[in-house]
Structure formats: C-alpha cells, structure tokens
Amino acid sequence: GAVVSQHPSRVICKSGTSVKIECRSLDFQATTMFWYRQFPKQSLMLMATSNEGSKATYEQGVEKDKFLINHASLTLSTLTVTSAHPEDSSFYICSAGPGSRGNTEAFFGQGTRLTVV
Amino acid sequence: KQEVTQIPAALSVPEGENLVLNCSFTDSAIYNLQWFRQDPGKGLTSLLLIQSSQREQTSGRLNASLDKSSGRSTLYIAASQPGDSATYLCAVQTGANNLFFGTGTRLTVIP
C-alpha cells in the first residue's frame, strides 16, 4: 500500500508556543490530505481537509487561526498548532490516498502525540 | 450526517477463537468502507477496503462483509492470536472523500 509519513511522532511544548506537524506522502502525489484529532479512548474526528495550492477546509468548531494548515506541494501538508494550550494536547493524525476523488483508499501517518505543559 | 457505530466496544477472547466485529452506519450513500487496526499510541493500519459495489473482501485470516442497503459491515477474524490484540476501527468514505469513523472495538486475545 501507499506510504504516509508523519513527523514528529511525539512532541512536548510549553503553553503559548507553536508546534508544526508534517505529513508526507512518500510514493504518491496527494492533492488532498486530511487532518484528524483523537482524544483518549475516542475515535478520530476530522479537523480539516488540506488542499494543495488552496485554502484548507475546516470542520465546524475547528479554529482555522489556531490550527494553520499549509499544503504547498503534492507530497507535503503541515499542521501548525499556534499558541498551544494544555487542552490542545491530543493525538493528531493525517491521512491521504492515491486514486480518484470519492473512491480512495486512505492511508494514515503514524500520528503525533502532542503534550502541552 | 453520517454516524458510524461499532459493537461491542470491547471484546476479550481466548487464543484460537473465531470472532466477529460489527459496524453500522446510518447513511448508505457511501463509496467504500475500510477496516483499520490501531495499536496503542500508534497510527492506523489499513486492513481491508470494500467498495460499495462489493459484498466482501478477504485478506489472510480476515474477512470483511458489507451490506450497504442495511448499513452494516462485519469483520471476521479466524483463529485469533495474541498479536491481533488492538483496537479495530471501521470507517465509511463519502463523496467528500473524508472518512467517518466508528468508535472502535478494543480486542484482547488471551494466550
């Protein structure tokens, strides 16, 4: 299957600082990538859809100024958590997939465990 | 809005037993359904993808079925092993290309 790489896998930051998470498709081009958030013992919730060369689409309730998404190339999307607070501590995971829109097998990165202290 | 439910939330079985995990979804207008495995603190590993036009898919000891009209899917694991212990998630893909996830079934296979 296709490979999606996410970095870093774990990060601890101080409250008020910003953290950038990278998501790369290693063996295919991805015009669309997705960012999810997972709270402990809960399922994944879509945060935003990252579109190459255009603005990201955010789900209701997700602050676009707090979670900045940049999809500058066909193989890289970044999520920056700005002015992080302890309540932003969570597991963030990205996905992408080759294939046509509407019928794409999704492949996931390894996830990033963010802890804000 | 699409809602995906998985039953049971947790399951504990002795090694060697066959088991079935259930997934149901409210809107049958899906493109496909995927089953994933997630180990604690890790990302998701894709297990099986069933297109909306298909009834089932098999990979090794895993067999997934899809009944789109009734909004149900099952994941059958044969001859379970301790290494199968993980959380299993099902997700449906809609026209927007994103996935709606179930709440997962946490499986423990006891040696």
DSSP result, B19-85? EEEEEEES----SEEEEEEE-TTS-EEEEEEEETT-SEEEETTEEEEEETTTTEEEEEE-S--GGG-
Q: What is the mean pLDDT of residues A55-80?
A: 93
pLDDT band at A98 (very low <50, low <70, confident <90, very high): low
Which pLDDT value is given to residue A102? 53
Which pLDDT value is given to residue B110? 97
Is the predicted pLDDT of residue B23 greater than 80, yes or no? yes
Q: Nearest-CA distance from A68 to chain B in Å?
A: 19
Is the predicted pLDDT of residue B34 greater than 90, yes or no? yes
Q: What is the mean pLDDT of residues B69-74?
A: 96
Q: What is the mean pLDDT of residues B98-108?
A: 92
Assess A68–B contact: CB distance below 8 Å, yes or no: no
Tell me which amino acid residue A15 is.
S
Residues 67-106 of B with CB under 8 A from A: 89, 91, 93, 95-99, 101-104
Is the predicted pLDDT of residue A100 greater than 60, yes or no? no
Which pLDDT value is given to residue A99? 57
Which pLDDT value is given to residue A28? 86
Strand partners, A47: none
Q: ∠B65-B68-B1 over CA atoms, to 5°?
A: 120
Q: From chain A, pick out residues whose CB is under 8 angstroms from the CB of B90.
A: none
Q: What is the mean pLDDT of residues A74-94?
A: 95
pLDDT by residue (tens digit) across A1-50?
Answer: 688 999 999 999 999 999 999 999 998 888 889 999 998 878 899 999 98
Q: Nearest-CA distance from A40 to chain B in Å?
A: 9
